[in-house]
Structure 1
Amino acid sequence: MRNKFEMKVLFICTGNTCRSYMAQVILEKLAREKKIDLEVNSAGTQAIDGIPAYPYAKMALKKNGYEEKKHYSKSISELLLEEYDLILTMEIKQRDFLKFTFPKFGSKIITLSELAVNSEFDIDDPITLEYNEYEKIFKKIEEYTQKAFKRLLNKYNLES
């Protein structure tokens, strides 16, 4: 039986081919396992629409037990942001940019680290790095996404 709770979560990074994509896949799996109705998506502040997920991002997901899903980057827009209840950025500057550019959505835009650990930390962009660095960044995204999910479960009394 699925939980009646519904929420839409949007992850934001720069190009939407690495970090926000990995966070999306992780959160989708967590929600499925708990039978929570979360709609999860991702986008980028500087994304070019239609670029596939970066191979190292897909490798990190697969190596850590996540199913690869087809993904093509998408850029942010006012219409996209309007659809989501919670917008989680990978970097402080992305949060600040979105709040400045789209002030009416400011109350629902925070960094992933703020939700996960009540502190402002950037999750570095691995785009030009070697795979071992992707793996480290993946682990940080996984840790923060799991903690953020647990906080959402607690906030809305959904922990079973």
Structure 2
Amino acid sequence: METKTKVLFVCSMNTCRSPMAAAILSEFGGEKYSASSAGTFVFSSSPICRDAAFTLESVGIAKYNYVPHRSRPVTDKLMRENDIIVAMTAGHRDVLCRLYPEYEGKIRVFSEDVGDFARGDIVKYQLAYVKLKKGIFEMFSLEQTK
């Protein structure tokens, strides 16, 4: 049995971008990757935001990939245990490299900065989904099967 590569997606509050990215990688690359997410600015355990969940559901992402999600802060343990850390923006990468310089070799920035769309309208979430999916397929060399 082949071990899955562990991937941690990181954004700010861990309620929109990074949990959406983790759900997308789990849905389309789950046979090779184990995806999770965390945030650099998390104060409480919150579910994925409603519009992000609605967007994922509307495109057919399995609910078990995002419904159980609760926001959590990045920790040394998470940085250590994951093989690849994907920052949603260059700013997140900079924060992670400053806080965890020993893991700098694991940290990648998303192919194109994924700006914060929290509290935007549903169209922003749908556009973010397209951007996230495209970037994840490129970054992890996935092929469209669904």
Please, what TM-score do these two structures have when normalized by structure 2?
Answer: 0.90
Higher helix share: 1
Alignment partner of 1:56 is 2:51 = yes
Residue number in structure 2 paired with 1:6 = 4
Please give the alpha-carbon distance, in whole angstroms, between the structure 1 residues aligned to 2:44 and 2:105: 26
For residues 112-127 of structure 1, the aligned pairs below 5 Å read 112-113=110-111, 121-127=112-118
What are the superposed Cα offsets for residues 38-73 of structure 1, whole Å, 9 maximum, x if unpaired?
221100000123111100000110111102232110
Please give the alpha-carbon distance, in whole angstroms, between the structure 2 residues aligned to 1:28 and 1:139: 16
Instruction: Tell me which amino acid in the other structure corresponds to 1:83.
Output: E
For residues 1-160 of structure 1, the aligned pairs below 5 Å read 4-32=2-30, 35-36=31-32, 38-68=33-63, 69-113=67-111, 121-150=112-141
What are the superposed Cα offsets for residues 78-121 of structure 1, whole Å, 9 maximum, x if unpaired?
111111110001010000110011100000001121xxxxxxx3
Unaligned runs of 5+ in 2: none
Return the index of the structure with the highest Cα Rg: 1
Please give the alpha-carbon distance, in whole angstroms, between the structure 2 residues aligned to 1:82 and 1:73: 19
What are the superposed Cα offsets for residues 12-46 of structure 1, whole Å, 9 maximum, x if unpaired?
001100010000011011123xx32x221100000
* Offset, 1:138: 1.3
Unaligned runs of 5+ in 1: 114-120, 154-160
* Offset, 1:5: 4.5
What is the root-mean-square deviation of aligned Cα atoms in Å? Answer: 1.6
Q: Which runs of 4+ in 1 moved over 6 A?
A: none
How many pairs are equivalent? 140
